[in-house]
Structure 1
Amino acid sequence: MNSKEEQTNSEVTNLENESSKEQHKEANYMNVNTRDNKLDKKSKDIEDKYKFGWSSYSEITNGRFAMIGFLAIILIELFSQQSFLKWAGIL
């Protein structure tokens, strides 16, 4: 084979590799979009399920506020160098 034929063959191989990479990227893009759609459906379900009273949304919210309150008590005790009950005037 001469150098022109080898160069042409290598160019064809490179083009085939690039097109297969692009197809693979498109397939991954499709999978990502599908996952995003599933997440959107789940988030819509959660928004629709918000109700007053005992629900998963209210439990998550109450848990988050409890964590914030617990952290606040720890910080008060650290900065004031006394127990929270004493600081609050309960004891």
Structure 2
Amino acid sequence: MTAQQPQPTVTPNLEEPKLGFNEYAERLNGRAAMIGFAIMVAIECITNQGVLAWLGLR
């Protein structure tokens, strides 16, 4: 007696959402935030001033 192989299910071809929260937008925003943070740290090291000094709050 041979066991029957299960039939694969058909996966619908869904279109990615163009607006709102989706994987691509989240990845892009995360990368931009990391680059911005790295640039901010580099500028702080170069100028020896913190963010509050840049904004004139200190």
TM-score, normalised with respect to structure 2: 0.64
Structure with higher helix content: 1
CA deviation after TM superposition for structure 1 residue 50, in Å? 4.8
Aligned residue in 1 for 2:45: 78
In structure 2, what is the Cα distance between the partners aligned to 1:76 and 1:88? 13
Q: Which runs of 5+ in 1 are unaligned?
A: 1-44
CA deviation after TM superposition for structure 1 residue 77, in Å? 0.5
Aligned residue in 1 for 2:3: none
Q: Tell me which amino acid in the other structure corresponds to 2:57.
A: I
Q: Which runs of 4 or more aligned residues in structure 1 lie more than 6 Å from their structure 2 counterparts after TM superposition?
A: none
Residue by residue over 1:14-43, the C-alpha shift from the partner in whole angstroms, topping out at 9 and shown as x without a partner, is xxxxxxxxxxxxxxxxxxxxxxxxxxxxxx
Higher relative CO (Cα under 8 Å, sequence separation at least 6) belongs to 2
In structure 2, what is the Cα distance between the partners aligned to 1:83 and 1:67? 18
Aligned residue in 2 for 1:54: 21
| Preserved CA contact (<8 Å) 1:77 1:83 | yes
Identity of aligned residues (%): 40
Total equivalences in the alignment: 45
Q: Decide which structure has the larger Cα Rg and report it.
A: 1
| Preserved CA contact (<8 Å) 1:80 1:87 | no
